[in-house]
Amino acid sequence: MVTIFALTVFFIIWRPFGINESIPTSIAAACILLLGIVPFKDVLTIFETVSGASITILSTIVMSIVLESIGFFRWAAINLALKSRGSGVLLFWYIILLCFLMTLFFNNDGSILITTPIIIQTLSLLRLKPAQQVPYLISGALVATAASAPIGVSNLANLIALKIVGLDLNAYATMMFVPSMVGIACIAVLLYVYFKKDIPITFQNHSKPKDLNNLLSEYPTKKLSHPLAAKTLGQENIDWKMFRICIGVVVLTRISFFALAPFGIPTEWPAIIGAILLIMIRWYKKKIGAKDILKKSPWHILLFAFSMYVIIYGLHNVGLTAVIVDELGGAVAKDPFYAIFITGMLLTVLSNVCNNLPSIMIGTFSIKEMGLSLQTMQVAYLANVIGADIGSLILPMGTLATLLWFYTLRQYKIPMNWGKYLRVTLFVIPVSLALSLLSLYVWTTYFVF
């Protein structure tokens, strides 16, 4: 079982011949089911656990594909350049804000796929040199990935684990928003401190939107393998009325996740309705059908989530979680402070060694088996999330979003290596992780419970 798991993680990270991550996980899941490590009778239970979260994320990505087709990303790139007003520092903070909001309104993997081309195109049309682009690219990627922590709907693993521990979105946000925002703010400040000398004070300012639009139209489009790759940036005028309506639908959909949670309505229903509304609005206004949605949507997410859960279920059945419970259960049960720091650090190590998606599931299964009080179990789970969403950023293999970011940079022929990445993350992430975990303890102990 351990061999199957190790090989699966290896192939997810390597991705030979550009295979998507669902292929190695589905092969591993099939082997586990055939070997009887996970009984076939548990398949329906597993599907019910992961399907809602997967459909929510998939619907969110569909919404982003529609926004791409109506010129949202071109608009974002132009406005980044305009609002920075020739200031490299202002551009840095606007990129940080853009990446944070993209993850908040979509999800961390989708945010990386969306924001990385936007940032590259913006920096290129502003004629920044490759060395001057690095602070913006690394900072945007780290913030976009970490920003999945504040709310439960920005990360597939968070959504699945929420269901396991019995938390709803509003309870999660109440306990998690402030501590995770402290960690994200710390990441942003430390990134600025680290890159301060590399960020250009000023750059050539193309002050007119028309000039920027022309530059962006001239910028050569690269062929990317991800589903949100832009094909005709800058070639078509934006329908502003439709643009505002679509943005409104996205915002209302996000709000509905929390507004409907007290009534027991699963997140996938408002997500599906929001995606269908955007497709219908686009068809009505532009007479564009759903062909691009069918082609670009990563339908394999459903298979990936199901297969990964089967793998983790298998590890649970052969005793991996029992080992964690035996070794750490006593210390975790002592006090919420111990629970937060032990589970947070455990998930940081696990995520950087074998990716955060399987790690947060292993951690969640483990804390469920420790016989903890409700308060301790919930804060231990939230510490799991911080370790998986923030602590996992130390190594590129810690998250699929970071691996997607590296892959996108290679497609644009932008030089980036692990050494350059590690020099930044070792300076930024440990301090931000510790501060976020400490904030979780203070916030939940003195203001929530």
Return d(Cα 343, Cα 425) in angstroms, integer: 21
Q: Under the phi-then-psi rule, with left for phi > 0, alpha for psi from -120 to 50, and beta for the rest, what region is 355?
A: left
Span 379-393, pLDDT tens digits: 999 999 999 999 999
Work out the angle between the directed axes of helices 300-317 and 156-165 (0-180°, nearest 10): 50
pLDDT at 224 over 70: no
Q: Which residues have C-beta within 8 Å of that of residue 300, sequence separation ≥ 6?
A: 20, 21, 22
Each residue of 235-281: pLDDT tens digit? Answer: 456 778 888 899 899 999 989 988 998 888 988 999 999 999 999 99
Of 251, 66, 110, 254, nearest to 173 by C-alpha is 254
DSSP, res 445: I
> What is the structure's pLDDT at 223?
38
Q: What is the pTM of this model?
A: 0.83
Q: CA 405, CA 428: separation in Å to the nearest integer?
A: 18
Cβ neighbours around 168 below 10 Å, total: 16
Calpha distance 205→156 (Å, rounded) = 39
* DSSP-based three-state secondary structure for 87: strand
SS3 for 13?
Answer: helix
Q: In sequence order, what are the residues at sequence separation of 6 or more whose Cβ sits closer than 8 angstroms to the Cβ of residue 196?
A: none
**Mean pLDDT across the chain:** 85
In this predicted structure, the answer to whether residue 228 has a pLDDT above a threshold of 50 is no
Of 312, 322, 301, 409, residue with least CA distance to 362:
312
d(CA 274, CA 277): 5
Distance CA 63, CA 313 (A): 31
Higher pLDDT, 188 or 418: 188
3-state helix, strand, coil in the chain (%, to 5): 80, 0, 20
381 contacts 424 by C-beta, under 8 angstroms? no
- C-alpha closest to that of 183 among 236, 239, 231, 143: 143
How does residue 227 score in pLDDT terms, banded at 50, 70 and 90? very low
User: On the CB side of 68, how many CA atoms lie within 13 Å of its CA?
Assistant: 27
| pLDDT value at residue 209 | 57
Helix (H, G, I), strand (E, B) or coil at 46: helix
Instruction: Reply yes or no on whether the pLDDT at 137 is more than 70.
Output: yes
**What does the block give as tokens for 403?**
């691996």
CA distance 67 to 26: 31
84-98 average pLDDT score? 92
Q: Taking a C-beta distance cutoff of 8 angstroms, is the pair 144, 102 a contact?
A: yes
